[in-house]
Amino acid sequence: MKIFLTGYMGSGKSVVGRELAKILKYKYVDLDDQIELMQGKKINTIFEERGELYFRKLERQILEDILAQKDKMVISLGGGTPCYGDNFEIINKQENTKTIYLSASVAVLTERLFHEKLQRPVISHLETREALEEFIRKHLFERAFYYNQSEIIIKVDELRVAEVVTKITEKLK
Ligand SMILES: Nc1ncnc2c1ncn2[C@@H]1O[C@H](COP(=O)(O)OP(=O)(O)OP(=O)(O)O)[C@@H](O)[C@H]1O
Ligand SMILES: O=C(O)C1=C[C@@H](O)[C@@H](O)[C@H](O)C1
Ligand SMILES: [Mg+2]
């Protein structure tokens, strides 16, 4: 089985995905890390040098590579991956996949991302907490349409990472 984690930046796809893979003894792939590895560049640099569209094409290519692999895997998608082109459709078309939306509130995302926005080119220009919150509110509203197409939805605001992992393993039974 391939388990795909979806959700907004800061929802915990990477930290939860890594732990979930350990517990299930599945291979772990972080789509963003994979892009950086293949390009030998940070995502920030790719955005700066080539722009977002180029990044989205890379993201799509790597998603296709992952889908072609046979291993049992946990895949942490990028925050935008399910929202571009037919990325979500090609995931759902595959047999034996589960998609899981880590759903966090605007307040929690703002709190987490304010300290980490510089690694994330989509939000790095937002200087104040208020500007970041306003941006996330609108952006999450647009993107939630895609994230909500995931088969399992976990509300993560009140949960520690280990608790999110436990919830997921229970829902997978
Ligand atoms: N359940 C949680 N409780 C507390 N902190 C959390 C939780 N989940 C994630 N975090 C923290 O939030 C930050 C963002 O998490 P993470 O990098 O996993 O998000 P992401 O969904 O992978 O984001 P991106 O889409 O940008 O890759 C990290 O500092 C992480 O430790
Ligand atoms: O939400 C987004 O559009 C992004 C999220 C990150 O995971 C990275 O894929 C990149 O920073 C873009
Ligand atoms: Mg991540």
Residue nearest atom 9 of ligand 1, based on CA coordinates? 12
Compute, in angstroms, the gap from residue 98 CA to the centroid of ligand 2.
Answer: 21
Assigned domain for 166 exists: no
Pair 16, 161: CB distance under 8 Å:
yes
CA gap 9, 112 in Å, rounded: 9
Number of H helices, E strands in the chain: 8, 5
Domain count within the chain: 1
Q: Residue 29 sits in which domain range?
A: 2-158
Instruction: Provide the whole-model pTM.
Output: 0.98
Q: What is the pLDDT of residue 8?
A: 98
Assigned domain for 63 exists: yes
Assigned domain for 37 exists: yes
Assigned domain for 167 exists: no
Q: What is the pLDDT of residue 36?
A: 98
Averaged over 32-50, what is the pLDDT? 97
Neighbours of 158 (CB within 10 A): 8
Assigned domain for 44 exists: yes
Assigned domain for 111 exists: yes
Task: List the structure tokens of 20.
Answer: 């979930």
Assigned domain for 59 exists: yes
Bridge partners (DSSP) of residue 97 are 2
CA gap 30, 12 in Å, rounded: 12
Q: What is the pLDDT of residue 25?
A: 98
pLDDT band at 90 (very low <50, low <70, confident <90, very high): very high
Q: Is the CB of 73 under 6 A from ligand 1?
A: no
| CATH number of the domain bearing residue 92 | 3.40.50.300
Surface-to-core class of residue 98, CB atoms within 10 Å of its CB (0-12 exposed, 13-18 middle, 19+ buried): middle
Q: pLDDT tens digits, residue range 10-24? A: 999 999 999 999 999
Assigned domain for 164 exists: no
Q: What is the pLDDT of residue 20?
A: 98
Instruction: Determine the atom of ligand 2 nearest the C-alpha atom of 83.
Output: 3
Q: Is the CB of 144 under 6 A from ligand 2?
A: no
Q: How large is the greatest C-alpha to C-alpha distance in the chain, in angstroms? A: 44
Q: Is the CB of 159 under 6 A from ligand 1?
A: yes
CA gap 77, 172 in Å, rounded: 18
